[in-house]
């Protein structure tokens, strides 16, 4: 039976999520890729256990995670819980999401209806063997459903005791402001937005979402911090055949131009001077933004989780370092 590392909380950095009482480790584990039915379960379990042993308490899922079958990441996570992690349930922050296509017919396609959101959470709880999740997100803004209906559905699951906090994902500043106003009227514990954000994808700054979140008591849980692997050492010398770009499994492969490779190498040189891998510097750079409560990492093996958490060993930047990074990013 699994026994967690007794020193897992000794040296970790936990951030408060916006103005809420919830704290999350600066790095969380996302179970999007490599945790579904197409993955080796022993590796899935080792990654989850490694994360928790390092002090990662937040495990982020969604109803449609689990290549090649929707829901299989949640099913595998139940097995991980049943094999020993469940005894630590009160130390875990488990989140799931709904919003993208999930099951056949008009009620399971991409939407934000009351019908879909409540039914989906019931399915997710059953797959994971849980009575509640800590955070339940609407996964993608739905312009075809009245925003008030989406907000009421999310508020309803909190009042049912099936979710403790509410979040949204892939909402821009304007959309976030509109739904937050409704949540404030309902007194819903809405605390977090989950957008993509990285050195190479800074739309949350340009859109104003990051600053809005700071000013309005929300936290950001940011995903794709390494820009589909660009911000690692994988592409510094071209495209490996076994990489995401090499296998054609990422939609941004066309961006890996000669100019991009030069930029990545310059960033890597800055990281080396900081005593870090490029991936570690990229994570630390995100955490300097006060809006960011946690960075959601993905992984295909336990060692990647260990390396990413080591980013917290050197989270601070000098002004000179930030200026150099900014200059490279603007080239």
- The per-residue pLDDT for 55 is 97
CA 28 centroid distance within chain: 7
Question: 241 pLDDT exceeds 70?
Answer: no
Specify the CATH number of the domain 14-228+278-315. 3.20.20.100
- The per-residue pLDDT for 109 is 95
The model's pTM is 0.95
- The two tokens of residue 167 are 């979040």
Q: What percent of the chain has pLDDT over 70?
A: 96
Which of the four pLDDT bands, split at 50, 70 and 90, describes residue 16?
Answer: very high
* CA 278-284-289 angle, 5° bins: 135
Region of 224 (left: φ > 0; alpha: ψ -120 to 50; beta: rest) is left
Q: What are the CA-CA distances from residue 179 to residues 1, 137, 176, 249, 309 (Å)?
A: 44, 13, 5, 33, 33
| pLDDT tens-digit readout, 223-240 | 999 998 999 998 898 776
Which of the four pLDDT bands, split at 50, 70 and 90, describes residue 255?
Answer: confident
Average confidence score pLDDT of the chain:
95
Which of the four pLDDT bands, split at 50, 70 and 90, describes residue 257?
Answer: confident
DSSP designation for 301: S
| pLDDT tens-digit readout, 128-167 | 999 999 999 999 999 999 999 999 999 999 999 999 999 9
| pLDDT tens-digit readout, 92-133 | 999 999 999 999 999 999 999 999 999 999 999 999 999 999
Q: What are the CA-CA distances from residue 231 to residues 225, 256, 270 (Å)?
A: 8, 11, 13
Q: What are the CA-CA distances from residue 178 to residues 75, 110, 148, 250 (Å)?
A: 34, 20, 9, 32
Of 1-5, 114-118, 269-273, give the lowest mean pLDDT range: 1-5
| pLDDT tens-digit readout, 177-219 | 999 999 999 999 999 999 999 999 999 999 999 999 999 999 9
Question: 245 pLDDT exceeds 80?
Answer: no
Of 247 and 196, the one with more pLDDT: 196
Between CA 140 and CA 155 the distance in angstroms is: 17
């Amino acid at each position: 039976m699994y026994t967690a590392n007794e020193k897992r909380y000794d040296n970790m950095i936990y951030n408060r999520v916006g103005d809420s009482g919830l704290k999350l480790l600066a790095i969380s584990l996302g179970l999007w890729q490599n945790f579904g039915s197409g993955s080796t379960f022993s590796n899935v379990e080792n990654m989850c256990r490694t994360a928790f042993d390092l002090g990662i308490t937040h495990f982020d899922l969604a109803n449609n995670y689990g290549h090649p079958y929707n829901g299989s990441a949640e099913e595998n996570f139940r097995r991980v819980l049943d094999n020993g992690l469940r005894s630590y349930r009160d130390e875990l922050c488990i989140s799931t999401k709904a919003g993208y296509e999930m099951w056949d017919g008009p009620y399971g396609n991409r939407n934000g209806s009351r019908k879909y959101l409540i039914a989906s959470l019931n399915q997710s709880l059953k797959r994971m063997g849980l009575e509640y999740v800590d955070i339940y997100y609407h996964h993608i803004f739905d312009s075809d459903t009245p925003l008030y209906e989406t907000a009421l559905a999310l508020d309803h699951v909190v009042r049912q005791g099936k979710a403790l906090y509410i979040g949204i994902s892939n909402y821009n500043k304007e959309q976030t402001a509109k739904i937050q106003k409704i949540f404030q009227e309902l007194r819903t514990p809405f605390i977090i937005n989950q957008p993509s954000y990285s050195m190479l994808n800074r739309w949350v700054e340009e859109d104003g979402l990051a600053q809005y979140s700071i000013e309005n008591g929300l936290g950001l849980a940011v995903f794709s911090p390494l820009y589909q692997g660009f911000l690692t050492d994988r592409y510094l010398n071209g495209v490996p055949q076994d990489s995401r770009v090499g296998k054609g499994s990422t939609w941004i492969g066309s961006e890996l131009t000669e100019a991009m490779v030069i930029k990545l190498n310059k960033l890597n040189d800055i990281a080396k001077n900081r005593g870090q891998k490029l991936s570690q510097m990229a994570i630390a750079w995100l955490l300097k933004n006060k809006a960011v409560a946690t960075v959601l990492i993905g992984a295909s093996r336990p060692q990647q989780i260990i390396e990413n958490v080591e980013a917290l060993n050197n989270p601070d930047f000098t002004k000179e370092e930030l200026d150099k990074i900014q200059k490279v990013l603007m080239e």
